[in-house]
Amino acid sequence: MIPQQWTPPCGSQCTHKYAALTQIPWRVFCKKGCDADSDSWEDCVSDCSEICYKDPVLKDRQWSAYIDRSPGAASYSEECFHACVAGCGYKFEVESEEVNKVKPKRPPPPPPKPQPPPRAKRPMQPPSDEDVPTSSA
């Protein structure tokens, strides 16, 4: 058996696409797309969204999103999603142009909390004669 035959073709394509040492995490998520239990391209993309984005584990308890095991930061989640979708594309033999067009179906982030207006500082006034002690040492 030749070494190329030891891994399924989808996994080999992920290894080839994410070959750099710094891309190992994305290779893992690409292979998760290959290994997804989905029966269709659309289901696989949906699975990638679940894998890569933090959602509350307990409904209506936003803090429970930290229990989720997704990558974390928004940019990492997006990279994860694109790597996973690439794996789905390899699995279902979808053209790379279509794979590159896929966007995660995520709700928009909440608007930033309004910042309180800065307090106007009173101008510094030089000390008056009343404020300066007149004793000498």
pLDDT, one tens digit per residue, over 13-27 is 999 999 998 898 899
* DSSP 8-class letter at 115: P
Contact 71, 80 (CB under 8 A): yes
Gap between the Cα atoms of 68 and 66, Å rounded: 5
**Tokens standing for 97?**
């142009």
Contact 83, 33 (CB under 8 A): yes
Read off the pLDDT of residues 68-87 as tens digits, 9 standing for 90 and up: 556 667 788 889 999 999 99
Whole-prediction pTM value?
0.65
Gap between the Cα atoms of 65 and 78, Å rounded: 16
